[in-house]
A and B are shown apart, each in its own frame.
Chain A
């Protein structure tokens, strides 16, 4: 298969992740959709690495995975902290910073 097919798949996955991030209300699902976006980016990176035949894109994909793991760690910690304070787990309700 040519590289263009992989890039199309990565674009579709990224768009679906964006749709989830802007429409879902549960922060857990928002985090899952962020994972989808990062994975779409990863697929594009690896496709480009294959296209050029050097490993830089794969290293960058590994770094993206690390960053995603950190983001999950902090995000889930925040969700647990929110749950402990008996606040609603809903991104529409949690808008104190908005004023």
Chain B
């Protein structure tokens, strides 16, 4: 039973990986990666890593892949198949054949080296079925076991990982926000004639709290207030 499940999941994982590398459309590559991740979760379950398998499905195949799908839909980006790339796509024929040979050689060498390193070790346990396992509420790999390890022995790693996530979130916001000067035609501030006539507070929060100034005097006052950094005047359409 576990052998059948292993071969199904391993076949799914490897074919998903092949699909990611080979498929032309990036969207299909993302879908192939989702299949690959689900198959890997089955392999994790077979290795008694229940919590990691659940995290794999929820975080990886769920959240991260949704992020990928959004960016692929936003950016689009025409794909290039690996065959085209290796064939050189027209003018660079010699480069293409060199790349094909080099890529095949490199990958073959890497695979052989990895297999030798992983399977040719002197460790006899590699050929075994793993350490003894007895099911229970706090057995190996259950959430209770992982949680206890994370909050005692690996507390520092846990904190560093959370801090790393914070840094990544801030970095992504900084990277992907709109900047002036970079997007020159997208969000240039247009001068609309009606803006010169209406008071600065119309249509902002300041109107709601009854602080509408007149059109003439309001402009300078509102600018003065917003320069003082007061949020209550609701500095209106301040650009950017």
Known pairs A53-B133, A66-B164, A74-B168; A79 contacts B71 (CB<8 A):
yes
Contacts of A80 in B (CB 8 A): 71, 74-75, 175-176
Chain A: residues with Cβ within 8 Å of the partner, total of 71
Contacts of A7 in B (CB 8 A): 118-119, 126
A10 to B168, CA, bound (A): 27
Main DSSP-derived SS at the A contact region: helix
Cβ contact within 8 Å between A1 and B46: yes
Distance between A29 CB and nearest chain B CB, rounded to angstroms:
5
Contacts of A47 in B (CB 8 A): 47
Binding site for B on A (CB under 8 A): 1-20, 22-26, 28-29, 31-33, 35-36, 39, 42-44, 46-47, 49-56, 58-59, 61-63, 65-74, 76-81, 83-85, 89
Binding site for A on B (CB under 8 A): 2-3, 6, 10, 13-14, 17-18, 20-21, 26, 29-30, 33, 36-37, 40, 43-44, 46-49, 51-52, 55-56, 59-60, 63-64, 67-68, 71-72, 74-75, 77, 79-80, 82, 85-86, 99, 103, 106-107, 110-111, 114-115, 118-119, 123, 125-133, 140-141, 145-146, 149-150, 154, 157, 161, 164-165, 167-169, 171-176, 178, 182-183, 186
